[in-house]
Structure 1
């Protein structure tokens, strides 16, 4: 029986030209083929490779959704600009949205929806929250289909405030019975120190244990950005501070997020000037349309091999 089970569990080789069940789905979703277009139930109803494209502040929004622990940003509705709406990285209980007692809406980014287009998911939750009773939580239990995206409902720039912890949850609430204290303590204990750098968009310093990193969400086309980073790396011009190094990047919601490992004790303030200077170099290098030279192509392959897709 054991042998039979082991044999059954082995992967079946694909015929030439076919996509294997554990290979990336050709649709570009980032899922394995067996969990996407190769699934008996088919792919998710809606999939968007770059769901927040066109959103003013797209890169900061992605940072808040993927790796910034505690932050918020006010949103302005196109149809009702006076309605108070705040975008939050995380809400108590990972709630998709909360309608406060005063009618203000808090919209959570770090949720577990899996309907293929997180921007449509957020828009559906926001739309439901607009008519929900004060003091209630709003969730999403079914796919929003091809409904509007968040960028269809809001206007203006994204003014991000990074918080040291989640005390802002109680900014307008009296926790007289202490029911939120334990939740708040646990949430604050998991929030790594994080700072958004001034002068550039979506660059965040963080300390994880004894290590420090810079994670910088970039809006450029992936191939163009890789070419530019390869040129700078090959020329030794991608170092931000002494002993700091570009260690790789991850892909989230259709854009790349380069990551630098930093010496312990660097801090966020020491990065402001070198990051602004590096961005100037990067912009100039992005404009260079020449084909990569042999050693630059080698560097590019090395950088590409250190990519990780998380969304």
Structure 2
């Protein structure tokens, strides 16, 4: 596995989950149309197939939620427009154990507390505790093409469920509120943990099944820490090497140009003991990755990361066309990319 991969497989196995592998069958246009009409969400059955889809995607209804495989349609940026977009991507793709408190829109005095989590026991979509509080999981067993709608469906379930309930997976919903429709949009206050002890409401029985499951899950965690309190920036000790993975909020074209300018100027690394190794795309955002000196403590990269952020900000502000050297640097950077769904 590349050093800048997700590293999720071990955590899924440790938590009792699995990675979903899907396939798509060919269907005729007639059968596709009949299926779409049969499964159209309530209130959408009368939508003209050539009209814009009510979901707001900009596609025609017949090519979006009116299609036979609407649940499989991929929303490239499921968290677009949210203040916590980069953190949501990081927590879903490569942070092993972390939580974020959420505030419900239209919350009343009796509203439960809601916490967003990287992964829950069994890679569940949601669970409620004995006191009625809610935990939502980002790293789940199965998902549709719209991760924000999945989170919305899981939260709606939890708000209706009684105490001590578990939602293993969400349905393949093509309608309903999305995550941003239900929670207050605000920057995330992330807490990163060394283990999964926060899963438990009480101390497990020594040697019992719960204790053994927790032990297996803890063994799969790679040490992780936030860097310089920068959204989406995380140091991780992957064993042989340490890395910095930084989900960037900028659109890819200007970001690539800025990275190319820094590369041509010899300013793309984070100083001694670091090396820029590439980037990957995740949910519509670019994630640059650096190899780091594993002997250095995570906090030692705070100052270099902040210095890089300053250099990047200046490079992003440059409007002049790329020079020949910068174009060559950009081409080299582009060869070291891949995309995560």
TM-score (norm 2): 0.77
The answer to whether 1:225 aligns with 2:255 is yes
Measured in 2, the distance between the counterparts of 1:43 and 1:290 equals: 44
Query: Equivalent residues in 2 for 1:1-311 (5 A)?
Result: 39-40=26-27, 43-45=69-71, 46-80=73-107, 82-155=111-184, 156-170=186-200, 172-176=201-205, 178-311=208-341
Report the Cα offset of residue 141 of structure 1: 4.7
Gaps of 5+ in 1: 1-33
Q: Secondary structure at the match of 2:116?
A: strand
Asked whether the 8 Å contact 1:99–1:134 carries over to 2, the reply is: yes
In structure 2, relative to structure 1, the CA distance for the partners of 1:192 and 1:279 (3 Å cut) is same
Report the Cα offset of residue 127 of structure 1: 0.4
Measured in 2, the distance between the counterparts of 1:199 and 1:63 equals: 13
Asked whether the 8 Å contact 1:132–1:138 carries over to 2, the reply is: no
Asked whether the 8 Å contact 2:153–2:170 carries over to 1, the reply is: no
Measured in 1, the distance between the counterparts of 2:69 and 2:274 equals: 41
Q: Secondary structure at the match of 1:180?
A: helix
Asked whether the 8 Å contact 1:241–1:262 carries over to 2, the reply is: no
Q: Secondary structure at the match of 1:247?
A: strand
- Which sits farther off after the overlay, 295-304 or 40-49? 40-49
Partner of 1:3: none
Report the Cα offset of residue 175 of structure 1: 2.0
Report the Cα offset of residue 296 of structure 1: 1.0
Alignment length (residue pairs): 276
Asked whether the 8 Å contact 2:124–2:141 carries over to 1, the reply is: no
Measured in 2, the distance between the counterparts of 1:304 and 1:293 equals: 16
Asked whether the 8 Å contact 1:97–1:139 carries over to 2, the reply is: yes
Report the Cα offset of residue 137 of structure 1: 0.4
Partner of 2:48: none
Asked whether the 8 Å contact 1:212–1:266 carries over to 2, the reply is: no
Q: Deviations over 1:174-204 (max 9, x none)?
A: 4237331111110000000000113422110
Partner of 1:18: none
Measured in 2, the distance between the counterparts of 1:53 and 1:141 equals: 21
Asked whether the 8 Å contact 1:247–1:259 carries over to 2, the reply is: yes
Report the Cα offset of residue 287 of structure 1: 1.2
Report the Cα offset of residue 281 of structure 1: 1.0
Measured in 1, the distance between the counterparts of 2:294 and 2:261 equals: 27
Asked whether the 8 Å contact 2:144–2:150 carries over to 1, the reply is: yes
Asked whether the 8 Å contact 2:279–2:338 carries over to 1, the reply is: yes
Measured in 1, the distance between the counterparts of 2:199 and 2:168 equals: 18
- Which sits farther off after the overlay, 132-141 or 156-165? 132-141
TM-score (norm 1): 0.84
Report the Cα offset of residue 112 of structure 1: 3.2
Measured in 1, the distance between the counterparts of 2:132 and 2:112 equals: 8
Asked whether the 8 Å contact 2:124–2:140 carries over to 1, the reply is: yes
